[in-house]
């Protein structure tokens, strides 16, 4: 199991080499080093995963270095490998390796490539530290480390003001969650006297029913701890309330969105809840809270996804929504299902993002789907792989055979229904509605992008590209006509992406097709407890309950999927005036959803504006107007008045003051001696 050291630290080493080497090293060596490191890490991760699949591996901890020893608070750098980690290892290293490869093509024209690849590898290192954490503080290290990498990558194109703003927003909003996480760690240490995850989980059941003081009131101990930790998870996994950074994070290059904001980093919150599942199990209140937040998020994000025009934002809200599924699965106790969906989602969502990247690449950086259309004939491989991803996310399948999302999402919905609790039912219905909308917005994306007539002429990016190629005044004249007529190709010819971009798409498409069917027995069926080996809580009885739910409930995800598909087909292929008419009818409701439920505006006026206003008040009125005025300046005024007659003995030179000071000292000391 020593290979885990290589898996984790090779990406760090590669990041350091590429980052410090930067321009001197050159593009190709930097790319070879980072991508090579990731493929090695990936090749080493799969055997670990397979050894857990076959049941031949045991959980181990590989110590690395002492970190902090402060009284009873002690924690080390150590790498823990168990089933849960093994699952995350393959997800992180596989997607990361493929994204590295994909970026060879996608970032080909970028002048700053070593920096980009260094950031990607740095991110992977931090993520691996997170998933291998043996104590809460190392998890926090990874947690903040991925936050840093995310900040750097969102702001990769740092000349763009919007990218800078999005990067800061991502970091600061995440910090709000991290504040909860930190308080959770403090509280956990206070209660258990340790931050070792293993020891905490063993002691957690014994604390059920106890109470703890927090902010002057007394609460159930485990509820307080779990909710504080969960606030951290909400920030990282963009759950309702702390989600506002995720859509803006799309300012980063698309491979980044695929790796960080779809497949890996944003699932860290789900991972954390699963990792600490024995702890969360002790607090029904916290579990219900997680279920409700998850259910609400999956619904709310899906509504926004239905209205957006930017291809990446649609997928971003889709991610937000799918994370909601994972959370309410965990909330009802189906941790296996949550991890299963995390696993399959990593493949198909990375695929969708990379596919979107391929479309954007082909369309000369245009991201607005209103200017797409008819692309299936021009970029067929992208089209087919994205269709595979769409079939996976919408959960197409029946009689136990289907695309990846079919197995994992249905398991989640069944578990929520089978849980029988009020929060579980709420989440189930939210999940069903969200599934309907998932199907709708996913097919809407496909239809708008790949079907219908080309609408490229309306795009400034396309116009720009066309003009770049033909510097001809006669074309210039034709340009104006095109702008007023959104349909047409404007003479633009989209090209399929290079092979380095298509290979990752094809591999991920394979995953999106098969990952659900192949691994369903390991993640969510009877006897799965053997696979998990106690790495998370597994409720055998919930699996049984899932098998005995009514047939109609079992079929409901399929039914809503078909409804969504048909609606999208009708609105975006059959009768393309229909969506606008619906939007018109809905009026303010549509605007509210389109403006993302007004969260950004709300937070702006609730937090950002007052913070700056208060800062100015405390500075000008507080420090300058009050403290200085009556403090030193007031004293100066008194001194100045009093010393007018003593002026003659004062030279005004600085050293004379120093001299007086020293004389005073000598005097004081003499007094001591005399006394």
Partner 1 sequence: MSGFPILSLMLLVPLAAALACLFLEAKPARNLALAATLLDFALGVVLWANFDIGGAQWQFTERVELFSGFSYALGIDGIALLLIMLSVFLMPICIGASWKSIDKRVGEYMAAFLLMETLMIGVFAAQDLFLFYIFFEAGLIPMYLIIGVWGGADRIYASYKFFLYTLLGSVLMLIAMLWMANTAGTTDIPTLMAYDFDPHVQTWLWLAFFASFAVKMPMWPVHTWLPDAHVQAPTAGSVILAGVLLKMGGYGFIRFSLPMFPEASAYFGPLIWGLSMAAVVLTSLIALVQHDMKKLIAYSSVAHMAIVTIGLFAFNVQGLEGSMLIMLSHGLVSGALFLCVGIIYDRLHTREIDRYGGLSINMPRYALFFMLFTMASVGLPGTSGFVGEFLSLAGIYQVSTWATLICATGIILGAAYMLYLYRRVAFGEQKNADAAAMADLDVRELLMVVPLGIAVLWMGIYPESFIAPMRADIAALDARLAAAKPEGDSKVAMGKEKPVHEEVSAHEGAH
Q: What is the rounded end-to-end Cα distance, in angstroms, of the chain?
A: 73
Distance separating alpha carbons of residues 524 and 468, to the nearest angstrom? 54
The correct pick among 55, 213, 380, 420 for binding partner 1 (CB under 8 A) is: 213
193 part of the interface to partner 1, by CB under 8 A:
yes
Q: Shortest Cβ distance from residue 673 to partner 1 (Å)?
A: 5
Distance separating alpha carbons of residues 128 and 12, to the nearest angstrom? 10
* Closest CB to partner 1 among residues 173, 560: 173
Mark 50-89 with x for binding to partner 1 (rule: CB under 8 A) and - for no binding.
Answer: ---------------xxxxxxxxx---x------------
The CA-based angle 62-65-69, given to 5 degrees, is: 120
* Closest CB to partner 1 among residues 573, 609: 609
Overall residue count recorded for the chain in this entry: 675
510 part of the interface to partner 1, by CB under 8 A:
no
23 part of the interface to partner 1, by CB under 8 A:
yes
Distance separating alpha carbons of residues 340 and 356, to the nearest angstrom? 24
Which parts of 365-404 interact with partner 1 (CB under 8 A)?
Answer: none
155 part of the interface to partner 1, by CB under 8 A:
yes
Distance separating alpha carbons of residues 299 and 67, to the nearest angstrom? 42
Cβ 382 vs Cβ 505: under 8 Å: yes
The correct pick among 172, 549, 563, 586 for binding partner 1 (CB under 8 A) is: 172
Q: Shortest Cβ distance from residue 654 to partner 1 (Å)?
A: 5
Cβ contacts of residue 21 below 8 Å, gap of 6+? 29, 30, 114
The correct pick among 54, 216, 471, 646 for binding partner 1 (CB under 8 A) is: 216
164 CB burial (10 A radius; 0-12, 13-18, 19+): middle
Can you spell out the DSSP letters for 278-312?
HHHTT-HHHHHHHHHHHHHHHHHHHHHHTT--BHH
Q: Three-state SS for 28?
A: helix
Kindly indicate which of the ranges 167-175, 372-380, 401-409, 596-604 contains the residues binding partner 1, using the contact rule CB under 8 A. Answer: 167-175
Going by their DSSP bridges, the two strands 397-398 and 60-70 should be labelled as unpaired
Q: Shortest Cβ distance from residue 228 to partner 1 (Å)?
A: 10
Q: How would you write 475-515 as a 3-class SS string? A: HHHHHHHHHHCCCECCCCCCCCCCHHHHHHHHHHHHHHHHH
The correct pick among 58, 218, 481, 606 for binding partner 1 (CB under 8 A) is: 218
Kindly indicate which of the ranges 241-249, 372-380, 407-415, 660-668 contains the residues binding partner 1, using the contact rule CB under 8 A. Answer: 660-668
16 part of the interface to partner 1, by CB under 8 A:
no
The correct pick among 175, 461, 467, 554 for binding partner 1 (CB under 8 A) is: 175
Beta bridge partners of residue 70, listed in sequence order: 73
179 part of the interface to partner 1, by CB under 8 A:
yes
Q: Shortest Cβ distance from residue 193 to partner 1 (Å)?
A: 4
Q: Three-state SS for 238?
A: coil
**Nearest 10 degrees: Cα torsion 195, 200, 203, 209:** 100
Picking from 331, 236, 342, the residue whose alpha carbon sits closest to that of residue 537 is 331
Kindly indicate which of the ranges 145-153, 303-311, 395-403, 495-503 contains the residues binding partner 1, using the contact rule CB under 8 A. Answer: 145-153
Kindly indicate which of the ranges 240-248, 262-270, 564-572, 651-659 contains the residues binding partner 1, using the contact rule CB under 8 A. Answer: 651-659
Helix or strand run (H / E) with residue 65: strand 60-70
614 part of the interface to partner 1, by CB under 8 A:
yes
The correct pick among 13, 62, 212, 381 for binding partner 1 (CB under 8 A) is: 212
* Closest CB to partner 1 among residues 160, 377: 160
241 part of the interface to partner 1, by CB under 8 A:
no
The phi and psi torsions of 538 (rounded to 5 degrees) equal -125, 120
Cβ 329 vs Cβ 427: under 8 Å: no
Cβ contacts of residue 590 below 8 Å, gap of 6+? 307, 582, 583, 584
The correct pick among 145, 232, 253, 355 for binding partner 1 (CB under 8 A) is: 145
221 part of the interface to partner 1, by CB under 8 A:
yes
What interhelical angle do 136-154 and 161-192 show, nearest 10? 180
Picking from 579, 508, 476, the residue whose alpha carbon sits closest to that of residue 358 is 508
- Quote the tokens at residue 119: 């950031």
The correct pick among 62, 168, 514, 549 for binding partner 1 (CB under 8 A) is: 168
Classify each residue of 617-640 as buried b or exposed e, where b means 16 or more C-beta atoms within 10 Å of its C-beta. eeeeeeeeeeeeeeeeeeeeeeee
* Closest CB to partner 1 among residues 176, 566: 176
The correct pick among 28, 499, 658, 663 for binding partner 1 (CB under 8 A) is: 658
Which parts of 274-293 interact with partner 1 (CB under 8 A)?
Answer: none
* CA 500 from centroid of its chain's CA atoms: 25
CA 17 vs CA 8, 13, 25, 34, 544: distances in Å = 15, 6, 9, 9, 52
26 part of the interface to partner 1, by CB under 8 A:
no
The correct pick among 13, 16, 22, 59 for binding partner 1 (CB under 8 A) is: 22
Cβ 528 vs Cβ 522: under 8 Å: yes
* Closest CB to partner 1 among residues 155, 431: 155
* Closest CB to partner 1 among residues 582, 636: 636
* Closest CB to partner 1 among residues 144, 248: 144
Mark 516-555 with x for binding to partner 1 (rule: CB under 8 A) and - for no binding.
Answer: ----------------------------------------
CA atoms within 13 A on the CB side of 13: 13
Count residues contacting partner 1 (CB under 8 A)? 85
640 part of the interface to partner 1, by CB under 8 A:
no
The phi and psi torsions of 62 (rounded to 5 degrees) equal -105, 110
Kindly indicate which of the ranges 181-189, 300-308, 533-541, 562-570 contains the residues binding partner 1, using the contact rule CB under 8 A. Answer: 181-189
Kindly indicate which of the ranges 36-44, 160-168, 262-270, 511-519 contains the residues binding partner 1, using the contact rule CB under 8 A. Answer: 160-168
* Closest CB to partner 1 among residues 205, 478: 205
Q: Shortest Cβ distance from residue 300 to partner 1 (Å)?
A: 24
118 part of the interface to partner 1, by CB under 8 A:
no
Picking from 370, 373, 361, 367, the residue whose alpha carbon sits closest to that of residue 496 is 361
25 part of the interface to partner 1, by CB under 8 A:
no
192 part of the interface to partner 1, by CB under 8 A:
yes
Distance separating alpha carbons of residues 197 and 177, to the nearest angstrom? 20
Kindly indicate which of the ranges 15-23, 79-87, 315-323, 386-394 contains the residues binding partner 1, using the contact rule CB under 8 A. Answer: 15-23
Kindly indicate which of the ranges 338-346, 401-409, 543-551, 613-621 contains the residues binding partner 1, using the contact rule CB under 8 A. Answer: 613-621
Which parts of 583-612 interact with partner 1 (CB under 8 A)?
Answer: 611-612
The correct pick among 370, 521, 623, 643 for binding partner 1 (CB under 8 A) is: 623
The correct pick among 37, 121, 133, 144 for binding partner 1 (CB under 8 A) is: 144
* Closest CB to partner 1 among residues 399, 655: 655
Q: Shortest Cβ distance from residue 97 to partner 1 (Å)?
A: 24
* CA 141 from centroid of its chain's CA atoms: 16
618 part of the interface to partner 1, by CB under 8 A:
yes
* CA 22 from centroid of its chain's CA atoms: 27
Distance separating alpha carbons of residues 12 and 148, to the nearest angstrom? 14
């Amino acid at each position: 199991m020593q290979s885990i050291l290589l898996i984790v630290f090779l990406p760090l080493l590669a990041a350091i080499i590429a980052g410090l080497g930067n321009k001197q090293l050159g593009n190709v060596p930097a790319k070879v080093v980072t991508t090579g490191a990731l493929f090695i890490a990936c090749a080493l991760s799969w055997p670990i995963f397979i050894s857990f699949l076959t049941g031949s591996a045991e959980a181990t901890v590989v110590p690395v270095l002492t970190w902090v020893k402060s009284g009873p608070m002690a924690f080390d750098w150590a790498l823990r490998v168990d089933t849960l980690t093994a699952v995350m290892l393959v997800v992180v290293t596989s997607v990361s390796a493929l994204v590295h490869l994909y970026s060879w093509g996608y970032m080909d024209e970028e002048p700053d490539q070593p920096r980009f690849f260094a950031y990607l590898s740095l991110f992977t290192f931090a993520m691996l530290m997170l998933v291998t954490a043996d104590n809460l503080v190392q998890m926090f290290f990874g947690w903040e480390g991925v936050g840093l990498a995310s900040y750097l990558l969102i702001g990769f194109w740092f000349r763009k003001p919007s990218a800078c703003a999005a990067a800061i927003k991502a970091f600061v909003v995440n910090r709000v969650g991290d504040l909860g996480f930190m308080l959770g760690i403090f509280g956990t240490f206070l209660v258990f006297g340790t931050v070792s995850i293993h020891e905490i989980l063993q002691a957690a059941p014994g604390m059920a029913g106890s109470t703890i003081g927090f902010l002057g009131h007394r609460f159930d101990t485990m509820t307080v701890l779990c909710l504080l930790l969960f606030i951290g998870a909400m920030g990282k996994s963009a759950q309702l309330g702390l989600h506002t950074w995720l859509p803006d994070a799309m300012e980063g290059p698309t491979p980044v969105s695929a790796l960080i904001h779809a497949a890996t980093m944003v699932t860290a919150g789900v991972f954390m809840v699963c990792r600490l599942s024995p702890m969360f199990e002790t607090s029904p209140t916290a579990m219900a809270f997680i279920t409700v937040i998850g259910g609400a998020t999956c619904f709310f994000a899906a509504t926004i996804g239905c209205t957006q025009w930017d291809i990446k934002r649609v997928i971003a809200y889709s991610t937000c929504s799918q994370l909601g599924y994972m959370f309410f699965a965990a909330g009802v106790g189906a941790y296996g299902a949550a991890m299963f969906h995390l696993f399959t989602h990593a493949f198909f969502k990375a695929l969708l993002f990379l596919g979107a990247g391929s479309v954007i690449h082909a369309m000369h950086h245009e991201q607005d789907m209103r200017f797409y259309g008819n692309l299936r004939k021009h970029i067929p491989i992208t089209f087919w792989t994205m269709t595979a991803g769409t079939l996976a996310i919408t959960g197409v399948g029946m009689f136990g055979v289907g695309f990846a999302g079919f197995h994992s999402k249905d398991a989640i919905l069944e578990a929520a229904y089978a849980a029988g609790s009020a929060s579980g039912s709420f989440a189930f219905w939210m999940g069903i509605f969200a599934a309907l909308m998932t199907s709708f917005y996913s097919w809407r994306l496909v239809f708008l992008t790949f079907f219908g007539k080309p609408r490229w002429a309306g795009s400034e990016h396309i116009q720009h590209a066309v003009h770049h190629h033909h510097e001809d005044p006669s074309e210039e004249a034709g340009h104006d006509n095109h702008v007023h007529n959104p349909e047409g190709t404007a003479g633009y010819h989209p090209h399929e992406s290079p092979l380095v971009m298509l290979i990752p798409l094809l591999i991920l498409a394979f995953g999106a097709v098969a990952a659900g069917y192949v691994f369903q027995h390991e993640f969510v069926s009877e006897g799965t407890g053997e696979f998990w080996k106690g790495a998370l809580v597994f409720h055998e009885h919930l699996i049984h309950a899932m098998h005995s739910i009514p047939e109609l409930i079992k079929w409901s995800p399929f039914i809503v999927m078909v409804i969504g598909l048909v609606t999208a087909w009708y609105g975006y292929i059959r009768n393309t005036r229909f969506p606008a008419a619906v939007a018109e009818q809905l009026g303010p409701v549509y605007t509210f959803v389109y403006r993302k439920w007004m969260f950004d505006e709300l937070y702006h006026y609730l937090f950002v504006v007052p913070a700056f206003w208060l800062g100015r008040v405390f500075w000008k009125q507080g420090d300058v107007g009050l403290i200085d005025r009556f403090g030193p300046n007031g004293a100066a005024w008194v001194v100045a008045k009093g010393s007018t007659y003593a002026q003659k003995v004062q030279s005004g030179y600085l050293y004379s003051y120093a001299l007086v000071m020293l004389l005073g000292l000598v005097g004081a000391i003499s007094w001591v001696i005399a006394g």
